[in-house]
Amino acid sequence: MIYALALAAALAAAPSSPGIVGVWKTPVDGGSTIRIEPCGEAVCGRVVGSPRLTAFPDQKDARNRDTALRGRPIAGLLILKLRPLGPNRWGDGWVYNPQDGGTYKGAVQLTGDGRLRLQGCIVAPLCQTQTWTRVR
């Protein structure tokens, strides 16, 4: 009985994120790839690759608005952190765009056709949306 209660508590505490865990392709720059994985109570996304990163593997985060962070490598860069909000929805976090060096309020929704709809906002309604596809 104690084991069952401990197991139930552990499952309840686990982030409800398996729907978006995996590798995703963005529609920008010829299709960058981002790996989304659990990180504590949230999900985090890191840059896995892109055509530009293949051509120039030593790219740095040169456009970061914080000059102290401009030496960070793009490969493996943490670009999103979001927490589960409900079925197929994550938000209450941030999305970083290395193309302009800006960090934005972020939200994601897993659509019925298995795509990921990502939105980054300076402040609503000043938002941009991208649709990512899962890499198989």
Domain residue limits, the chain: 16-134
Kindly indicate the confidence band of residue 124, based on its pLDDT and cuts at 50, 70 and 90: confident
Residue for token pair 């309604």: 125
Contact by Cβ (8 Å): 91, 85: yes
Residues 9-18, mean pLDDT to the nearest whole number: 41
Kindly indicate the confidence band of residue 18, based on its pLDDT and cuts at 50, 70 and 90: low
Average pLDDT of the residues of the chain: 87
Report the number of secondary-structure helices (H) and strands (E) in the chain: 2, 8
Q: What is the pLDDT of residues 31-89, one digit of tens each?
A: 899 999 999 999 999 999 999 999 999 999 999 999 999 999 999 999 999 999 999 99
pTM of the model: 0.82
The CATH number that domain 16-134 falls under is 2.40.128.520
Dist CA 2 CA 7 (whole Å): 9
Asked if pLDDT for residue 115 goes beyond 80, the answer is yes
